[in-house]
């Protein structure tokens, strides 16, 4: 599914984040802080969570020639008031890097934390079920958000529209003969791309098991209907596509969906609704 990597050099997105905040300078520091002043600083957590974003924030520190000594790796859990990273560099540079670093670190760690919570809830009920993200990401932040889902123990799902075939309801409305079209596409692509089909009812889900697809996406279906489908296919001897539940799944109803025993639960809430973790940067 997701094949991207985040580079150690300052990438274009992070450069854009910095330009948004400091392209016109820092009038407060310029007027009040000695240009030669050196400071030690630290980033502290104000709540517990799972760290994500170390490489990205290190890019920012390196850009400003700030030495950073991290006490946690991505994927590590930290408690309230933990010292996350120690810094040393020009005081003005530390202040220039502060807000973008804290914003990105908080956002990424928030997603990793929410994902980790979702994975724990799900695995306690259905050990084989995986938690996945969706493409409901903020423009320009997708690779950071999906990376954070991976850090939290989830699956990234497809990174873009070309990574796998996902036939959604609007596609189906425009296809004259779905079974014939899927067979034709399968002959063209073989197993090079996965094919997933979105269904929205028990009836359409049962029809989908006879199609040459890899995944059945049970979209916006109630847990009780998904459970009926899962019970029905247990008695079928033929190979059944993987099952994925999606649509309106949040932390409040996750247990109900986990109880259905589907293979994958995809949650847009992981990226569009996760609460940012609160970090602060303090001059020592």
**Residues 218, 236: one domain?**
yes
CATH code of the domain containing 39: 3.90.1170.20
Task: Give the tokens for residue 96.
Answer: 């220039």
Asked if residue 23 lies in contact with residue 100, where contact means CB atoms within 8 angstroms, the answer is: no
Looking at every residue in the chain, the average pLDDT score rounds to: 94
For position 235, what pLDDT does the model report? 85
Residue 3 within a domain: no
Q: Is residue 7 part of a domain?
A: no
Q: Quick one: tokens of 127? A: 């050990």
Query: Is residue 220 located within the same domain as residue 233?
Result: yes
- Write down the pLDDT at residue 259: 98
The pLDDT of residue 237 is: 74
Q: How many CB atoms lie within 10 A of CB 97?
A: 24
| pLDDT tens track for 197-249 | 999 999 999 999 999 999 999 999 999 999 999 999 988 878 899 999 999 99
Tens digits of per-residue pLDDT, 16-59? 999 999 999 999 999 999 999 999 999 999 999 999 999 999 99
Phi first, then psi: give them for residue 276, nearest 5 degrees: -65, 140
CA 248, 254, 259: angle at the middle one, nearest 5?
Answer: 120
3 state SS of 12: helix
Of 213, 179, 178, the residue nearest 197 (C-alpha): 213
Domain count, the chain: 2
Say whether both 268 and 279 belong to one domain. Answer: no
Q: Specify the residue for token string 């930290």.
A: 78
Residues 43 and 163 in one domain: no
Q: What CA–CA distance (Å, rounded) separates 246 from 205?
A: 13
Q: Per the structure block, which two tokens stand in for 30? A: 């310029």
214 part of a folded domain: yes
Regarding whether 229 and 140 lie in a shared domain, the answer is yes
User: Going along 172-270, which residue ranges are E strands?
Assistant: 195-199, 215-219, 242-246, 264-266
Number of Cβ within 10 Å of residue 99's Cβ equals 14
**Does 106 fall in a domain?**
yes
Q: Are residues 56 and 38 in the same domain?
A: yes
Give residue 239's domain range: 118-272
Residues 6+ apart with CB under 8 A from 5: none
Same domain, 125 and 63: no
Tell me, what's the pLDDT at 159?
93
Q: Does some domain include residue 24?
A: yes
What pLDDT, on a 0 to 100 scale, did the predictor assign at position 2?
40
Residue, of 120 and 236, whose pLDDT is higher: 120
Q: How confident is the model at residue 5 (pLDDT cuts 50, 70, 90)?
A: very low
High-pLDDT (> 70) share of the chain, %: 97
- The answer to whether residue 72 is domain-embedded is yes
pLDDT in tens, 91-117: 999 999 999 999 999 999 999 999 999
217/164 same-domain check: yes
One domain for residues 108 and 124: no
Q: pLDDT confidence of 7, banded at 50, 70, 90?
A: very low
What is the reported pLDDT for 103?
Answer: 98
Do both 104 and 239 map to the same domain? no
pLDDT value, residue 10 = 80
Angle 79-108-23 from CA coordinates, rounded to 5° = 120
The per-residue pLDDT for 9 is 66
**95 in Cβ contact with 29 (< 8 Å):** yes
Establish if 140 belongs to a structural domain.
yes
**Rounded Cα gap, residues 133 and 192, in angstroms:** 22
Q: Are residues 203 and 133 in the same domain?
A: yes
CATH code: domain of residue 218: 3.20.20.70
- Residue 231 CA to residue 38 CA, distance in Å, equals 66
Average pLDDT over residues 131-146: 96
**Rounded CA gap, 224 and 232, in Å?**
12
Residue 68 has pLDDT above 70, yes or no: yes
Q: Are residues 191 and 265 in the same domain?
A: yes
Nearest to 222 by CA among 260, 264, 174, 166: 260
Mean pLDDT of 124-141: 96
In a domain, 150, yes or no: yes
Q: What is the pTM of this model?
A: 0.93
């Amino acid at each position: 599914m997701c094949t991207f990597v985040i580079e150690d050099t300052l990438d274009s997105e992070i450069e854009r984040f910095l330009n948004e905040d400091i392209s016109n300078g820092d009038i407060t520091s310029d007027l009040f802080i000695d240009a030669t002043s050196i400071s030690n600083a630290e980033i502290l957590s104000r709540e517990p969570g799972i760290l994500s974003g170390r490489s990205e924030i290190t890019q920012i520190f390196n850009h400003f020639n700030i030495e950073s000594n991290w006490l946690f790796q991505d994927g590590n859990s930290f408690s309230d008031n933990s010292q996350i990273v120690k810094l040393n560099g020009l005081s003005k540079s530390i202040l220039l890097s502060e807000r973008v670093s804290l914003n990105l670190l908080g956002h990424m760690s928030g997603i990793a934390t929410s994902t980790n919570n979702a994975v724990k809830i799900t695995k306690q009920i259905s050990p084989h079920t995986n938690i996945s993200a969706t493409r409901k990401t903020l423009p320009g932040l997708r690779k950071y958000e999906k990376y954070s889902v991976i850090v939290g123990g989830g699956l990234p799902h497809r990174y873009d529209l070309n990574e796998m075939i996902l036939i959604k309801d609007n596609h189906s409305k425009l296809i004259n003969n779905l079974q014939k079209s899927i067979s034709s596409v399968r002959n063209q692509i073989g197993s090079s791309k996965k094919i997933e089909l979105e269904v929205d009812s028990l009836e359409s889900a049962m029809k989908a098991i006879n199609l040459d697809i890899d995944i059945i996406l049970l979209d916006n279906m109630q847990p009780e209907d998904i459970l009926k489908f899962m019970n029905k296919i247990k008695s079928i001897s033929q190979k059944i596509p993987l099952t994925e539940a999606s649509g309106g799944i949040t932390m409040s109803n996750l247990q109900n969906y986990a109880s259905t025993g589907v293979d994958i639960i995809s949650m847009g809430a992981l990226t569009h609704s996760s609460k940012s973790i609160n970090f602060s940067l303090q001059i020592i």
